[in-house]
Amino acid sequence: MPRRGTGRRVTEVDLARTWIDWLIDTRSGYAETLLNLPLKDRIKDRGASFPSVQDIFLHILDNNVWWLESVPQNRQESHQEVKGGLSKAEIGREVRRIAHSNRKLAKSLTTSRLDRSFVVRGVQGNGEPFEMKVNLRTIIWHLVEEELQHRGEMNALFWQMDVDAPTRSWFSSALAE
């Protein structure tokens, strides 16, 4: 396992906490860039994984709520999706609320908490129900992959609109040397 500059071994808990913090810190740049666009540009259907750049961003937020709040708290049936025609103020509030919730989770991580499993129930894209067992470790690494994927998509859409994408490298993370 690599070592940080302090000489201390970097654990998976360290990595998970740092990735969560980095995603939170850099997500604010995406929120700011998105919310500075005129409404028509934010909600225009661009034929992406979700119709608009705003829909993609709301999907990122909803993934965090679903996987890090609704699943671990056994609230899957009452999950309220983060989507639709939210105002700038409502999106900003959700970004801040989710950041607070994510930071609280990151601080609480331990190896045994990463091992904790949950039963996830849902409906596949083809309409078929599914059930799977997944641990918090897998959830966190899935969210890292999912958010980076959708940020890349947002970057491309921002660039098509001639808007600077708010990219920031991992070198700005707490574990970068």
- Is residue 108 domain-resident? yes
* Structural domain boundaries, residue 81: 12-172
So what's the pLDDT on residue 133?
A: 97
Q: How many domains does the chain have?
A: 1
Tens of pLDDT along 100-151?
999 999 999 999 999 999 999 988 889 999 999 999 999 999 999 999 999 9
Q: Is residue 153 part of a domain?
A: yes
pLDDT band per the 50, 70, 90 thresholds, residue 172: confident
Structure-block tokens of residue 45: 């259907």
Confirm whether 2 is domain-assigned: no
Give the CATH number, domain containing residue 39.
1.20.120.450
Query: Does a structural domain hold residue 29?
Result: yes
Structure tokens at 155: 């970057």
Looking at residue 123, its pLDDT comes to 87
131: tokens are: 């059930």
Mean pLDDT for the chain overall: 93
Q: How far apart are CA 163 and CA 152, in angstroms?
A: 14
Residues in the chain: 177
Range with the poorest average pLDDT among 10-14, 60-64, 76-80, 161-165: 76-80
pLDDT of residue 167: 94
Distance, in Å, from the CA atom of 36 to the CA atom of 10, rounded to the nearest integer, reads 38
Q: For residue 113, which amino acid is it? A: R
Q: What is the pLDDT of residue 30?
A: 98
pLDDT digits (tens, 9 = 90+) for 62-95: 999 999 999 999 999 999 999 988 999 999 999 9
Distances (CA, A) of 59 to 44, 83, 117: 16, 7, 24
Inside any domain, residue 59: yes
Is 87 inside any structural domain?
A: yes
**pTM for this predicted structure:** 0.91
Which residue matches tokens 């129900």?
129
Residue 7 falls inside a structural domain = no
